[in-house]
Amino acid sequence: MMDANTIAYFRELSEVTGLFYSEEAESLTGVANGYHVTLAINTITYQLSFSVRANGMLPTPEVLKELIDGSDAVKNAVMEGNRLVVSVKGAMKNALTKNVVDAINSVTEKLKQYGYVDVCEYCGAVRQDIAPYNIGGKIYQTCPDCLQAATATVNTQIEQRKANENVGLGIVGALLGSLVGVLVIVLIGQLGYVAVAGGLVMGFATLKGYELLAKNMSNKGIIISSIIMILMVYVAERIEWAIEVFKVYSDEHISFIEAFLYTPEVIRYSDATGQFIGSLVLLYVFTAVGVFGVIRATAKKIQ
């Protein structure tokens, strides 16, 4: 579920782009320069989706490269089945708004240049009655004749992904991803800061690690990943303190592993328990702020 600020921003984008805001699918959709287009958020990236063909053929890798190289606003362009997905650069509001508009204009101009036309996303036919339909929480640009078949296909795919989810490998992936988050949190900490960026990386890397190895993301995966995040934030805090212990006792030639193991004892005998807990709570708060948006976007994607 989008928060109020994101909804407000989508409504602003709707006015700028002329696309219609679909509250149910949490997307913008409509027609731009003769092409049906959808704008949605995938985790933290804004993405444009098209369904086009030229002489019955989908966009080639060469065309995808041209879409990327032809605009400073385009970060990536890939085919996901029959769907052309274009990722837009930018995170800050003003730059992102400009890039969304620029990406729409650039991509549609390139598509026209290469002779691509708007088609039904499901059957690939050139139709005048193509419309956006919310299927499984995602907008699909299809013709009315394909709506029932497309709905059945999408629902089947969702059920298959749930059945094929490998929780064991997902846990391994989440652990590996969380280590990236730990590294970022520790590096930021060594600079003397506690930043939301660490939580953002922790959330994205942990969830993506689970999804990549589990081959799917479910509510179960989100819960497991969240538990791992909570544990690994504690590990990150322990490592930060262990680094300080290692520095203090460096003349005693202890290893970092020993410093990590002795850290609780050093904290206790140094009467620094309150300081450790306060620092840990602050890190959890900042991490929660960073993680929240990533978890919310992931939960919305799997509904």
Residue range 295-299: average pLDDT?
74
**Could you tell me which residue, 215 or 110, shows the higher pLDDT?**
110
CATH code of the domain containing 34:
3.30.1460.10
CA distance 265 to 263: 5
Please say if the pLDDT value at position 67 is more than 70: yes
Q: Is residue 267 helix, strand or coil? A: helix
* pLDDT for the residue 301: 64
Whether residue 274 sits in one domain with residue 192: yes
What confidence tier does 219 reach under pLDDT thresholds 50, 70, 90?
confident
**Cα–Cα distances in Å, from 221 out to 155, 188, 218, 282?**
19, 27, 5, 26
36 backbone dihedrals φ, ψ, rounded to 5°: -70, 135
Closest CA to 32 of 146, 122, 132, 151: 132
CA distance 26 to 257: 47
CA distance 50 to 118: 8
Among 111, 143, 158, the domain boundary falls at: 158
CA distance 160 to 203: 25
Please say if the pLDDT value at position 92 is more than 60: yes
**Cα–Cα distances in Å, from 164 out to 58, 135, 217, 221, 276?**
28, 21, 10, 13, 42
Whether residue 193 sits in one domain with residue 273: yes
Whether residue 152 sits in one domain with residue 8: yes
Whether residue 142 sits in one domain with residue 255: no
Query: What percentage of residues in the chain have a pLDDT greater than 90?
Result: 47
Please say if the pLDDT value at position 294 is more than 70: yes
Whether residue 193 sits in one domain with residue 145: no
The rounded mean pLDDT for the chain is 88
Place of tokens 């708060």: 285
Whether residue 239 sits in one domain with residue 262: yes
Residue range 110-126: average pLDDT?
93
Residue range 173-186: average pLDDT?
93
**Cα–Cα distances in Å, from 62 out to 65, 66, 78?**
5, 6, 11
C-beta of residue 221 within 8 angstroms of C-beta of residue 301: no
Whether residue 242 sits in one domain with residue 132: no
* pLDDT for the residue 1: 58
45 beta partners: 42
* pLDDT for the residue 113: 94
C-beta of residue 36 within 8 angstroms of C-beta of residue 119: no
CA distance 120 to 141: 6
Whether residue 178 sits in one domain with residue 69: no
Whether residue 195 sits in one domain with residue 232: yes
Whether residue 179 sits in one domain with residue 93: no
Tokens of residue 82, six digits: 């029959």
35 beta partners: 32
Please say if the pLDDT value at position 137 is more than 80: no
For the chain, the 3-state helix, strand and coil shares in percent, each to the nearest 5, are: 60, 15, 20
Among 105, 140, 158, the domain boundary falls at: 158
CA distance 202 to 291: 7
Among 130, 158, 186, the domain boundary falls at: 158
Contacts of 36 (CB under 8 A, 6+ apart): 29, 30, 50, 51, 118, 130, 132, 141
**What are the pLDDT digits (tens) for 253-283?**
788 998 898 888 888 888 888 988 988 898 8
Domain that holds residue 66: 4-158
> What is the end-to-end Cα distance of the chain in Å, rounded?
10
- For the question of whether the overall pTM of this predicted structure is more than 0.85, the answer is no
Whether residue 276 sits in one domain with residue 204: yes
Number of domains within the chain = 2
Whether residue 171 sits in one domain with residue 142: no
